Amino acid sequence: MDETKIILSEKEMPEAWYNILPDLPKPLDPPLHPATKQPVGPQDLAPIFPMELIKQEVSMERWIEIPEEVREIYKLYRPTPLFRARRLEKALDTPAKIYYKYEGWSPPGSHKPNTAIAQAYYNKKEGVKRLATETGAGQWGSALAFACKLLGLECTVYMVKASYHQKPYRRVLMETWGARVIPSPSDLTNSGRKILEGDPECPGSLGIAISEAVEDAATHEDTKYSLGSVLNHVLLHQTIIGLEAKKQLEKVGDYPDVIFGCIGGGSSFGGISLPFVKDKLEGKNIRLVAVEPTACPTLTKGVYAYDFGDTAQMAPIIKMYTLGHTFVPAPIHAGGLRYHGDAPIICSLYNQGIVEAEAYYQNPVFEAALLFAQVEGIVPAPESAHGLKGAIEEAKRCKESGEKKTILLNLTGHGYFDLSAYDNYLSKKLEDYEYPATKIEEALTHLPII
């Protein structure tokens, strides 16, 4: 009855990922080739992705088996625990029940290895020798470095320059797992050199780093590109989070009224929410709330339009909520939430009113993170703390109304590599950036004309 951690045995770990594509009320608009603006086919993606992932991107199979070798590696940290946040509930004096799924339990400290391991596995199976990728705050780079090392692949990581300097320990972590880490924009690629000519001090962005990594993969035979979020197959691999959480809640006879999670590109939010979206489409009464930073308010302030996935216009054009591919957000500490777009699956669901979104400034988000650390112990990643802020606000509303809601939070990672951000918060040096209305307006004038 009074359990704090709800644990699944390794035997209870899901054996298949949930693919929402066949269950979507509206099919997704197809991704378009950046040059021809025609729908991309498998042959367009083949230079940068292995065939199995290209297939998963458009698969209409509802359940996709998790390969044995991937499951074996997952067992290093999965199933992850589901916690009941009793002390947080008490601190908030709320009648709501708050559960959090803790993905910081993985060796790299976030949910990201769930897809990194799967992607490295399929690449290796198809004879690829090296993966190139980008990283913002460093979580994706460290997850892919970890996965590549375990599966025997080389790994090159283009790291957003602002984070490279703000978060040196993540670079060390990536190098510990054998990866080569390059600050982006760099002078190693055409797209990097072009940016540096225009702005030698450019702090970088995920969009720029993506361009560099895609160029690296496209120009090397033995190398493919790996993306840590946004794409359908990434959300697919992350559904293990929601599938486990559902089983764990069943064990204590519970079901969420509302789910909160942060959103950067949408993979962890998709991961926890899509198995529940299925229930919602079948008639369940459940709310799904994505929480983003005010400094990069993709869902709450962006437009739903076709836009380039990256700054250099090399990646496919996708239909999504976007702030414009030229938008460079303020260097907030939640580096993983600085992408200009969001996953097409989540954008489509948001556009249809099936998922909701909220945005918060970073100081109130850190205030929530500090409260959480002081009552629950775990120091949340700045990204995760956005979802936490949403959940805390909901719990406070429950206090007002007396409602005994069940809240499920995706605590996507720990913040032990983000202590400089906590230092800034504690010494009152953390800035709340204004909602960048004019910058967004300007960036939206550069959308491709379809």
Ligand X SMILES: *Cc1c(COP(=O)(O)O)cnc(C)c1O
Binding site for ligand X (CB under 6 A): 110, 112, 139-140, 229, 262-269, 336-337, 381, 383-384, 412-413
Closer residue to ligand X (CB): 166 or 268? 268
Smallest distance from ligand X to CB 355, Å: 13
Smallest distance from ligand X to CB 197, Å: 30
Closest CA to 228 of 209, 202, 204: 209
What is the bridge-based pairing of β-strands 180-184 and 5-6? unpaired
Smallest distance from ligand X to CB 251, Å: 25
Smallest distance from ligand X to CB 61, Å: 23
Separation of alpha carbons 383 and 336, rounded Å: 6
Closer residue to ligand X (CB): 342 or 394? 342
Smallest distance from ligand X to CB 188, Å: 24
Smallest distance from ligand X to CB 132, Å: 18
Closer residue to ligand X (CB): 226 or 384? 384
DSSP H/E element including 357: strand 356-360
CA atoms lying within 13 Å on the CB side of residue 180:
9
Cα–Cα distances in angstroms (integers) from residue 304 to residues 289, 342, 379, 381, in the given order:
18, 10, 34, 28
Residue found by looking up tokens 């705050």 in the block: 137
Separation of alpha carbons 259 and 100, rounded Å: 10
Smallest distance from ligand X to CB 147, Å: 14
Closer residue to ligand X (CB): 172 or 437? 172
Tokens of 146: 């970890």
Separation of alpha carbons 269 and 284, rounded Å: 19
Helix (H, G, I), strand (E, B) or coil at 391: helix
Helix (H, G, I), strand (E, B) or coil at 225: strand
Peptide bond connecting 79 to the previous residue in cis, omega within 30 degrees of 0: yes
Closer residue to ligand X (CB): 266 or 297? 266
Smallest distance from ligand X to CB 227, Å: 10
Closer residue to ligand X (CB): 73 or 381? 381
Cα–Cα distances in angstroms (integers) from residue 392 to residues 240, 384, 387, 409, in the given order:
25, 12, 9, 10
Burial class (CB in 10 A: 0-12, 13-18, 19+), 396: middle
Closest CA to 248 of 46, 408, 373: 408
Closer residue to ligand X (CB): 334 or 398? 334
Closer residue to ligand X (CB): 84 or 386? 386
